Amino acid sequence: MNAETLQDDLQDLESAEDFLEYFDIPYDEATVKVNRLHILQRFHDYLAAQTPGESGDAGALRDLYRGLLAQAYTDFVNSDAQTEKVFKVFQRPPPGVAYVPLDEAFGRKS
């Protein structure tokens, strides 16, 4: 297997379960069912944080991908989506308190 074949294989994978099975990572179906998008997004984030390598070694690349996917999955075994804050909706700061004078709220002018 070369790096190009690995990339072709990855293009055919569609679900979190497909990725986990391709990389031979044992998983709990209930955990994946609840967190599949979060796991894949975290995997994507881990991949994006990697420095591109010069090596065309598919074995090393596959091992790297497997390790990153296993870590992404483990993040959600030991935690939950709201705690991990993968998606932007979970990263928003809590809403602040805004002061609006009553005369401005009701359009009255003094």
Query: 73 with 86: CB under 8 angstroms?
Result: no
- pTM of the complete model: 0.71
Domain count, the chain: 1
pLDDT band at 25 (very low <50, low <70, confident <90, very high): very high
For CA atoms 68, 69, 70, 73, the dihedral sign is positive
Which residues form the domain of 21?
3-105
63 within domain boundaries: yes
Return d(Cα 107, Cα 103) in angstroms, integer: 6
b/e map of 22-43 (b: 16 or more CB within 10 Å)?
Answer: bbeeebeeebbeebbebbbbbb
In a domain, 110, yes or no: no
Establish if 72 belongs to a structural domain.
yes
Residue 22 in any domain: the answer is: yes
Phi and psi (nearest 5°) for 39?
Answer: -60, -45
Q: Is 77 a domain residue?
A: yes
Confidence bin at 95 (pLDDT 50/70/90)? low
- Most confident range, picked from 28-32, 34-38, 77-81: 28-32
Q: Give the C-alpha separation, 32 to 42, whole Å.
A: 13
Domain assignment of residue 74, yes or no: yes
Q: Rounded distance, CA 52 to CA 19, Å?
A: 21
